[in-house]
Every structure is written in C-alpha cells, then in structure tokens.
C-alpha cells in the first residue's frame, strides 16, 4: 500500500506530531511507533496500519471485527453489539494497551482495570488505525505495556467539500447510518461525522442455556476535527467527539449462573483536544491539551449505580533535526485522572503522573535505522519510574527487513484497584498497598517481499511482567501483587499471496503461551488463533471476500474451552464510481461457540449496506 505523505499536514496522533517539510512518497507510514512520521520498515517495531479501505467492513459493525484479523490480536466479547469487548495484544489484555482517538486518551479511569471498552465503537467515522505491538511505556508512559492503538477519524483528502454517507440493515433488527463531510483548503481543513446504530441484539446469556431475552443496543456518535495554518510557522487545530449509548445486559442469579436479567447500561462520554504546532528554526514544537469525560450508569432491576471519570492531559513535544542522520524527539506531559462514585469510601479519588522523555532516531546508513528512548515518570502515589526502549531495523536489500526491539515498562494500579469497595452480590475490596507492575518485552522479526507481490513476515515475541496484580477470591475478594514473573511468549506469522490478477490469499497466525508465575495458563488467551482469507475480483464491479477464523487452546478458570471455527463472507458491488452496495454474512455456517463461558455469540446473520461519497 503506497502512501503520499504531505508532512506539513500530517496526522496529529498520540501526544501530537511536529510537522516536517516537503512531500515524501513512502511505502507505508506510521506516526504512533516513534511519535513522528516514520516508514514502518524503519521503526524496528511490529506495526499494523489499517486504512479506510481496510476498515470498510467495520462501517456498520464493531471495529473489533477488523482488529481480529491482525496477527497478535485476540478479542473476547460478552454478548451482542454493545457488550463489553476486550482486545488483547500478544496475550496482554486491555489494561496494558494505551488507546487514543484523535490524540485523546480514552481509557476509563473508573474501571477496576483502567482500560478502553471496544464493545460499542463502530467504524463509521474512522479513517485510520495504527496498532503498535510490544511495550511503548518509554514513549507513552504507564499502561502501554502491551502496545498502543491510535485511531484517527475521517479527514479531508482533497481540497473542496466532500461528503460521505452509509446505511446498513440486517439481522437482529440492526440498522446503522452515518453522514459526514470534510472540507479541505490550502490553509486547513474541517471534518464532521454523525453516526447512529441500533440493534435488538440476542441474549447475552447463551440461548443454549435456556435464555431467550434479547439484549439490545443503541448508540449515537458525533466526531469533529479541524486545523488551520495561521502562518508558515504556526498551525492551530483540535478534535472532539461525543457518544451516548444504551445497552441491555444479563447477570447472575443466586446460584452464580449467568441468566436473563432486565439490566440496562447507559454511557455518556466526550473528549476534546486542542493543539498548536510551532516551527522554530531546526525544532518543531507541539503543545497539546486534552480532556476526556465518561459517565456510566447501571440499572440492575432497580439497583442503580453511577460512575463518573475525567482525565486532563497537558503535553509538549519537540522534534529537532540535529543532522541528516540524527533526529531528537523530546518533551514532557502531565496527566490527572479523577474518579467519583459511591463505591469509593472517600467518594472521590485522584491520581497524577508527570513524565519527561527523549528519543534519538539514528540512520547511519540507508539500510539501518536505530531508535533509542528513555522516559522518567513521577507518580503521585508510587514515586518515580524509568522506562526505556531500543529498536533496530536493518534492510540488507529492498525486499528484506530484519528488526528487533527490547523495552522496559510499567503499569501503576488504578484508582479502583486500590480503593474500590463493593459489598454486594460479589463482594470486592481494593488494596491500597498494591505496587506498580514492571515489565520487559522483546521481539525479533523478519519481513520478506517477493516478486509478484507476495510478502511474508514472522515475529518472535516475549513479555515478562513482575508484581502481576491479580484477583484473590474470598469474602470479600481483593487484589494482590503476585511474586515472581508472569510470561507471555509466542510467534506471529502474516502472509499475503496474489494467486492471479483478481485473487489474493492472506494469512494471520498467532501462537501465544501466557502463564502466571505458578506456571498456570492465563485465562482467555488462545494458544492458537489463525485467520485465512480469500479476496477476489468476481466481475468488473464486484469484489468478494471469504474468511475463516479458528481459535483453539483457550482456558478459563483452569477449564478448557472447545475450539471453534467461524466463517464470514462479504460482497461489494460498485453501483457507480461513487456508490457501493455491500452484503456481509457473519458466522456463515451457524457455528455454536462461546468466547467467554456462559455468554452467547451471533448465529448466522446477514447485513446489507449502501455507501457513497460525493
């Protein structure tokens, strides 16, 4: 996939990016891996970049359906659309993944394990996703131990006004629609997208266990972004989103059996970011302010609980070109998280963290790239912590890339892990004496391109976590730091093979061995996960894709899950150059399976969509 990168208006992701000069044509660019635009082959990291074309299948469905296709990524969901969804990278669950939307950190500070829930996020307004595997604490601070996912909403791709719209309907009474526009010009751009989705759903508690009440979902999202060049040296911009949703969910009875319940979950969240890019001689600066606010309300058959959380973040980043071969990226940031809800004995708790980082990007030759990063974070509760990362990419020829990385990271305990107090049906009390988890990650990879367009990559990886924070079940249950080292190690394989002018096969395979210090397997991490796909041009305007995902070797509370295989089918027909008609079939062969024990998954389901740009 070739990209034309106009770096004077480059994506502003993560903590913000200083614009470089000129227009450079590169194979594929990542901003997230090094916090500045870098060819993916030069990062030394394992990076996946999903473009708007890759995300087309997610326009009326959950983004997780596209993330599942990536090697190293696994997903578990507790029911239908809108239910909680956990993304894992190399066996590291969502508490170890930093997630940004238009540069706004969106993990929920009120959750026991502060993380982002992908369950209600559709692809309607998303233009690009960058996923960096492996520890990134040296650039993004704590909780980026497993990796970073950076999401960018739609932007202007050309000057003038462009509009886009989509409507999709299908099984379970699902209806999704979106409309948006972008306007680009020589001095800036503006973009807005409004989307809505509703579905009657199916029972979150598996129907095969006698549960028949469907659990529906509806959600509305508005996203906005803008940037304006005031002069040759100053650009101002920002982004914002607001999302509301209501989801029905099931619960447990007195015998600890998951069953139908009239429970309702309402969520309201919004985020905003403002930035200024200032060029001063050899150094480009980005000043950044972001806010995130979330409110969760649970109504469990009259028992109501409300959770309010906020995050305020300030950052500054500078990029200095010291020479043609050496670039320094450096800066600092400050974040305050606040949580307010009845299950905090004090009613409200706050956590602050301030960090400073420096990264050297060195290219001693056209074939070799080295990045070295160091960061120091000072927390309000746990003192200071240093993290670092070293990555190397070597290209002995144009078709071969060898890469490796080693990194140190940490994850501080969340507010709820320390202070949460839940005296109800499953009593739980937090542990204020918890200490941060510390980690080391390693990876070694090779990528090879062949004549005719075929390519293959393989990566060995390992993640070691000390002081793992884990549940200790009792009356009440609590959390403790486990002595020893918990490990996640394995192999990722990815391949793409053109079988002719109109047919391409692709493969993504991950083997992960994830264990506690005792040697016991970690829950819900597949030993084997493989996705096979075929994409074919069936006619001049008709394209089809069929894919099969096989998952095996999952355990939960020590008991194995049955292996399963799910097949999906998609067809896309270009009615005109600007309007597409699509059909997708989920679970084509109506497989009965569970991703989390007791929770249902979709039967065979059909969806028809119409999308256009004008």
Write the DSSP assignment of 387-413 as a string of letters: EEEEEEEEEEETTEEEEEEEEEEEEPP
**Residue 121 — φ and ψ, nearest 5°?**
-90, 115
Asked if pLDDT for residue 1 goes beyond 70, the answer is no
Q: Scanning the structure block, which residue is given the tokens 């911009």?
A: 237
Mean pLDDT of the chain: 93
Encode pLDDT of 257-275 as tens digits: 999 999 999 999 999 999 9
pLDDT for 240:
98
Classify 417 as helix, strand or coil.
helix
Provide mean pLDDT across the span 102-116: 96
Q: What's the structural domain count of the chain?
A: 1
Contact present, 405 and 137 (Cβ < 8 Å): no
> In terms of residue numbers, what domain contains 400?
3-613
Q: What is the CATH number of the domain that holds 603?
A: 2.40.170.20
Poorest-pLDDT segment among 4-13, 222-231, 234-243:
4-13
* DSSP single-letter state for residue 171: T
The pTM score is 0.94
Contact present, 468 and 480 (Cβ < 8 Å): no
Asked if pLDDT for residue 417 goes beyond 90, the answer is yes
pLDDT for 8:
31
Q: Scanning the structure block, which residue is given the tokens 């909680």?
A: 84
Task: List the one residue out of 91, 96, 88 whose CA is nearest residue 67.
Answer: 88
Rounded Cα distance between 364 and 449, Å, is: 24
Percent of the chain with pLDDT over 90: 88
Burial class (CB in 10 A: 0-12, 13-18, 19+), 474: exposed
Those residues with Cβ within 8 angstroms of residue 441's Cβ, 6 or more apart along the chain or in another chain? 134, 135, 145, 405, 406, 407, 409, 461, 462, 463, 464
Rounded Cα distance between 502 and 504, Å, is: 7
Q: Binning pLDDT at 50, 70 and 90, where does residue 424 land?
A: confident
Rounded Cα distance between 541 and 535, Å, is: 14
The three-state (H, E, C) secondary structure of 195-231, written as one string: EEEEECCCCCECHHHCCCCCCCEEEEEEEEEEEEECC
Q: Binning pLDDT at 50, 70 and 90, where does residue 253 land?
A: confident
Pairing status of strand 542-552 against strand 528-539: antiparallel
Rounded Cα distance between 219 and 63, Å, is: 14
Provide mean pLDDT across the span 576-590: 96
Count of alpha carbons within 13 angstroms of residue 184, beta-carbon side = 9
Count of alpha carbons within 13 angstroms of residue 490, beta-carbon side = 25
């Amino acid at each position: 996939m070739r990209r034309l990168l106009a770096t004077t208006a480059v994506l502003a992701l993560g903590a913000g990016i200083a614009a470089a000069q000129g227009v450079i044509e590169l194979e594929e660019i990542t901003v997230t891996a090094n916090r500045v635009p870098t060819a993916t082959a030069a990062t030394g990291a394992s990076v996946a970049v999903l473009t708007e074309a890759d995300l087309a299948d997610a326009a009326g469905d959950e983004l997780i359906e596209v993330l599942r296709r990536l090697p190293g990524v696994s997903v578990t969901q507790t029911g239908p659309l809108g239910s909680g969804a956990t993304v894992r990278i190399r066996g590291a669950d969502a508490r170890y993944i930093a997630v940004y939307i238009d540069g706004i950190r969106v993990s929920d500070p009120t959750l026991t394990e502060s993380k982002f829930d992908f369950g209600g996020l559709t692809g309607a307004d998303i233009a690009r996703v960058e996923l960096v595997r492996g520890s990134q604490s040296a650039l993004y601070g704590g909780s980026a131990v497993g990796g970073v996912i950076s999401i960018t909403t739609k932007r202007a791709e050309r000057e003038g006004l462009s509009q886009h719209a989509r409507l999709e309907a299908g099984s379970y009474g699902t209806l999704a629609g979106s409309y948006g526009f972008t306007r680009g010009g020589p001095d800036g751009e503006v973009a807005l997208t409004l989307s809505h989705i509703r579905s009657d759903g199916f029972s979150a508690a598996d129907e095969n266990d006698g549960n028949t009440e469907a659990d529906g979902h509806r959600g509305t999202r508005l996203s906005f972004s803008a940037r304006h060049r005031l002069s040759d040296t100053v650009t101002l911009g920002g982004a914002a989103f607001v999302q509301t949703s209501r989801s029905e969910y099931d619960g447990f009875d007195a015998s600890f059996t998951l069953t139908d319940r009239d429970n309702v979950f309402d969520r309201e969240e919004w985020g905003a970011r403002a930035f200024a890019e200032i060029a001063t001689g050899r150094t480009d600066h980005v000043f950044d302010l972001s806010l995130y606010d979330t409110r969760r309300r649970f109504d469990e058959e009259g028992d109501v609980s409300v959770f309010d959380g906020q995050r305020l973040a300030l950052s500054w980043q500078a990029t200095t070109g010291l020479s043609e071969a050496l670039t320094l990226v450096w800066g600092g940031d400050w974040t305050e998280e606040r949580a307010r809800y009845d299950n905090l004995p004090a009613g409200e708790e706050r956590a602050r963290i301030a960090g400073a980082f420096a990264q050297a990007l060195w290219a001693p030759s056209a074939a070799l790239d080295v990045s070295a990063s160091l960061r120091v974070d000072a927390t309000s509760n746990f003192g200071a912590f240093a993290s670092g990362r070293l990555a190397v990419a070597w290209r002995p020829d144009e078709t071969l890339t060898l890469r490796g990385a080693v990194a140190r990271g940490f994850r501080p305990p969340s507010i709820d892990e320390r202070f949460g107090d839940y005296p109800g049906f499953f009593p739980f009390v937090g542990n204020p004496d918890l200490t941060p988890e510390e980690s080391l990650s390693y990876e070694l990879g090779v990528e090879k391109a062949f004549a005719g367009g075929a390519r293959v990559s393989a990566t060995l990886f390992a993640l070691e976590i000390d002081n793992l924070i884990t549940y200790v079940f009792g009356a009440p249950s609590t959390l403790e730091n486990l002595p020893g080292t918990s490990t996640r190690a394995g192999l990722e394989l990815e391949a793409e093979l053109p079988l002719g002018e109109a047919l391409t096969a692709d493969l993504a395979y991950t083997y992960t061995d994830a264990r506690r210090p005792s040697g016991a397997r970690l829950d819900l991490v597949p030993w084997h996960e493989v996705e096979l796909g075929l994409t074919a041009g069936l006619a001049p305007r008709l394209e089809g894709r069929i894919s099969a995902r096989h998952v095996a070797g999952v355990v939960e509370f020590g008991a194995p899950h049955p292996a399963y295989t799910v097949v999906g089918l998609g067809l896309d027909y270009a009615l005109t150059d600007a309007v597409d008609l699509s059909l997708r079939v989920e679970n084509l062969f109506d497989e009965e399976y569970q991703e989390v024990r007791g929770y249902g998954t979709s039967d065979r389901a059909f969806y028809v969509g119409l999308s256009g740009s004008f």
